[in-house]
Amino acid sequence: MKVLVTGGYGFIGSHVVERFEKEGYEVFIIDNMSSGKVENVNCKHKFYKFDVEDKKCEYVFKNNNFDIVVHLAAQINVTTSLEDPFLDTKTNILGLVNMLELSTKYKVNKFIFASSAAIYGNNQNIPLTEEEIAEPLSPYGISKCVGEEYCKKWNQIYDLDTICFRFSNVYGPRQGLIGEGGVVSIFMDNITKNKEITLNGDGEQTRDFIYVSDLTDALFKAAESNISSGVYNLSTNSRSSLNNLIRILNSLKKIKGIIRKEDRKGDIKHSSLDNTKIKKVLGWIPMVSIEQGIKNTFDWYSINYKTEENNIEKKKLKHNDKVKRYLPYIENVALFILVIVLSTFKNGEYLENTMDLKLAYIFIIGLTHGGKQTIIATTLTSILVTVENILKGRSVFTLPLDTNFAFKIGMYILVGVILSYIFERYLKKEQSQNKITESLKNEYDLLRNVYNEILVEKSVLQEQVVNSENSFGKIYGIIKKLDSLESQYVYSEAVEVIEKILKVKDVSIYSMDKNNKYLRLIVRKGKNDINMPRTATLDYLKEAKTNIFNGELFINKNLDMDIPMFICPINDDYGNPIALIMINSVKFERLTLHFVNLMHVVTNLIKTAILKAYKYEEAMRDKRYIENTPILKREFFENIKSIKKDEMEKNKSEFIMLKVKNKDKDVNSLSHLIFKTIRKSDYIGMTSQDDLVLILSNASKSDSHLILERLEEKGVQAEEYNEEYMYV
């Protein structure tokens, strides 16, 4: 089965992904990586980097038939929701609607939505049941409340199974420093850095903390259950204050100190959710106590969370950002100083330059940085020109009246404005082009990923078609073994065909006499779990008699241990049973309609091959047998002997050969005496040395003495035929 986890690289999502993968699901992740980390997930999965509100998500649904969608992607910071409600709404509502729409369109079986205890607001009817009125205090809580309503209506309108879970404060390994349960990781981060803990309020505010493994267990059980809709609290139904949390942490590592601040806007004073409903419906109970959960989290945090390295990396990034931010100013000032140096005094006189360095300076800054830097360059140049004129003895009050001065300043300003306009226009055009390019690149990357996935699936399917055990080529190769006109050869290969196609370990074929009373083993492959005798009366299979004479497949529905699981009769054109195919030792989980249908196909192929062989043998009787005798001619007898040897090597089928010693008697009369003694599955024939030899199928060396005595009673003298492959 396939499951899609949105926000699968996040704190909760990564645990959900690992749980479903562990249970045998094929897992897919959609995550925009805003807070998730690739290293959070160490199991097999497929990843798509999209926002959940992005229409490109349809590609993911279109190319994967998801059975379950677990929607965890969200903006989870209460403070952010207050500062930027639009961002909160975009992710938490538009993203949800997009997922619901795609789940309906592509026929997802079940949709699980992660809601929050934040929808209850500051309700003091603790523990809070699912029937309490929703009174959220923040846009985050509002978005979750609206999300639940969307799920409810989607279930009613589109018949999509939607389950909403109101999470209490989740904590555990891999948790970030934001979100409702983030207080645990924030405290641990400060303890690890040996910093003081910042506590908002008096610390008596309570939370219903739930360990992440308990939560993922509930989500998985819900996915596997028959629940089709509803809202459920997912909590421990307990209250733990922040002061108690600090006490537990202090027992693990000494806390440096506590900084107390005012309550945060939008925070809830007390929170505890009643989990009676989910415990009753799912049979789920939380297993991890707050003390054990905090210890597990602290142990993971101490080992895996490299705070110092993170801080160093953050400082480097901040430093690089500052350098990038101030670099244009530094370059501008440096170039201006260079202009001053080149325009400085020499022997008390100004240099008379053929090129206006100030104008060149404005051009260079305008073309490289544009906008703000061009204005700065123009201003600095105007100041420099003014200073130069003052140093020449000009009055600052008369300078504006000087047409040359005014023209020069005006020219600098005009050039600066034009360059700034050109640069800004070019920059906007470039940014627009970059956005288009980025969009096309994302589209290409998506199509490339889809193409690669389809290519992999194609290769897998091609491998299955060409090389798998159920491929057309291999099935044809197996069935081809039945393409023979020798009935004994068909019987011999039939058990192997059944074993390979049906994947069973105990197959046998019995022949039935003309009177429909006795069964005689022709060939067996496997261990004979039910100890079916080599010779038996039809009454041994009395439960299957009706099916046998009607030519119908018998299925041992009562699971009687003394008879085979399946019996398939092979009846001739007149409806008379000539042989029975018996199959046993089939694994219980394979007893499906598909298995029965496959058995019908295989046994019908075998039946067709055997009847064809019998008809051929009957048509060729004059050529196969010595005239007026049941004795096979040399060519055909040698062929039967070869088949028996192969059976012995492949299926461990026993047989013995006896040579007739009566040289003085007529072969015709001898053959009729012998034929009355042997069975339908036995053969008489002439060897290449002109010896009259009997082949007794499924008879061991210990049986030979009894058979020799019977022949002697009929006046036939015989002895064991000494030849290689004579016995097993």
121-146 average pLDDT score: 87
C-alpha distance from residue 387 to each of 58, 108, 399, 415 (Å): 66, 76, 11, 20
Is 188 a residue whose pLDDT tops 80?
Answer: yes
109-118, 462-471, 638-647, 674-683: range with lowest mean pLDDT: 462-471
Higher pLDDT: 178 or 707? It is 707
Residues 6+ apart with CB under 8 A from 331: 368, 369
The pair of structure tokens assigned to 636 is: 């055909």
Is 330 a residue whose pLDDT tops 50?
Answer: yes
DSSP characters over 504-539: -SEEEEEEE-TTS-EEEEEEEES--TT---SEEEGG
Confidence of residue 470 (pLDDT cuts 50, 70, 90): low
Spelled out in words, what is the top-level CATH class assigned to the domain 623-720? alpha beta
Q: pLDDT tens digits, residue range 398-448?
A: 777 788 888 888 888 888 888 888 888 888 888 888 888 887 887 788 778
Residue of 238, 239, 240, 247 whose CA lies nearest to 197:
247
Residues 6+ apart with CB under 8 A from 15: 172, 174, 212, 213, 215, 216
Q: C-alpha angle with apex 498: 493 to 504, nearest 5 degrees? A: 130
Confidence of residue 212 (pLDDT cuts 50, 70, 90): very high
Confidence of residue 165 (pLDDT cuts 50, 70, 90): very high
- Axis crossing angle, helix 307-342 with helix 371-391, rounded to the nearest 10: 40
372-392 average pLDDT score: 84
Q: pLDDT tens digits, residue range 483-541?
A: 777 787 888 888 888 888 888 888 888 888 888 888 888 888 877 666 778 788 888 88
List 140, 211, 510, 683, catalytic entry? 140
- Axis crossing angle, helix 371-391 with helix 357-368, rounded to the nearest 10: 170
Q: In what helix (H) or strand (E) does residue 329 lie, and over which residues does it extend?
A: helix 307-342
Largest CA distance in the chain: 157
On whether the CB atoms of residues 154 and 162 are closer than 8 A, the answer is yes
C-alpha distance from residue 728 to each of 351, 397, 528, 702, 715 (Å): 118, 128, 17, 12, 29
Is 725 a residue whose pLDDT tops 80?
Answer: no
pLDDT of residue 9: 92
Active-site residue, 140 included? yes
SS3 at position 442: helix
Percentage with pLDDT > 90 across the chain: 20
Pairing of strands 206-207, 718-720: unpaired
Cα radius of gyration rounded to whole Å, the chain: 45
pLDDT of residue 258: 86
Is 612 a residue whose pLDDT tops 80?
Answer: yes
pLDDT of residue 446: 74
Residues 398, 264: Cα–Cα separation, whole Å: 62
On whether the CB atoms of residues 446 and 51 are closer than 8 A, the answer is no
pLDDT of residue 232: 95
Confidence of residue 476 (pLDDT cuts 50, 70, 90): low
Q: In what helix (H) or strand (E) does residue 303 lie, and over which residues does it extend?
A: helix 290-304
Q: In what helix (H) or strand (E) does residue 217 lie, and over which residues does it extend?
A: helix 212-224
Extended beta strands in 126-285, E state: 161-167, 169-171, 197-200, 206-207, 209-211, 229-234, 240-241, 258-261
Q: pLDDT tens digits, residue range 3-19?
A: 999 999 999 999 999 99
Q: Which of 178-192, 518-532, 554-568 has the highest mean pLDDT?
A: 554-568
On whether the CB atoms of residues 4 and 69 are closer than 8 A, the answer is yes
Is 727 a residue whose pLDDT tops 60?
Answer: no
The pair of structure tokens assigned to 319 is: 């430093």
Residues 48, 9: Cα–Cα separation, whole Å: 11
Q: In CATH, which superfamily holds the domain spanning 475-619? A: GAF domain (3.30.450.40)
Residue with tokens 């059944």: 498
Average confidence score pLDDT of the chain: 82
Residues 700, 654: Cα–Cα separation, whole Å: 6
290-294, 576-580, 600-604, 709-713: range with lowest mean pLDDT: 709-713
The secondary structure of residue 633, as a DSSP letter, is: P
178-196 average pLDDT score: 75
Confidence of residue 475 (pLDDT cuts 50, 70, 90): low
Is 290 a residue whose pLDDT tops 80?
Answer: yes
Is 312 a residue whose pLDDT tops 50?
Answer: no
pLDDT of residue 366: 81
Is 64 a residue whose pLDDT tops 50?
Answer: yes
Percentage with pLDDT > 70 across the chain: 90
**Which amino acid is it at 333?**
V
Is 71 a residue whose pLDDT tops 90?
Answer: yes
DSSP characters over 10-70: SHHHHHHHHHHHHTT-EEEEE---SS--GGG--S--EEE---TT-TTHHHHHHHS--SEEE
pLDDT of residue 728: 37
Residues 33, 56: Cα–Cα separation, whole Å: 16
CATH assignment of 2-181+204-304? 3.40.50.720
Residues 76, 92: Cα–Cα separation, whole Å: 9
Residues 456, 462: Cα–Cα separation, whole Å: 10
Higher pLDDT: 238 or 662? It is 238
On whether the CB atoms of residues 163 and 219 are closer than 8 A, the answer is no
On whether the CB atoms of residues 336 and 361 are closer than 8 A, the answer is yes
pLDDT of residue 348: 38
Residues 298, 185: Cα–Cα separation, whole Å: 9
Domain boundaries, the chain: 2-181+204-304, 311-441, 475-619, 623-720
pLDDT of residue 490: 83
Is 151 a residue whose pLDDT tops 90?
Answer: yes
Is 598 a residue whose pLDDT tops 80?
Answer: yes
**Which amino acid is it at 40?**
N
**Which amino acid is it at 403?**
T
Residues 446, 455: Cα–Cα separation, whole Å: 14
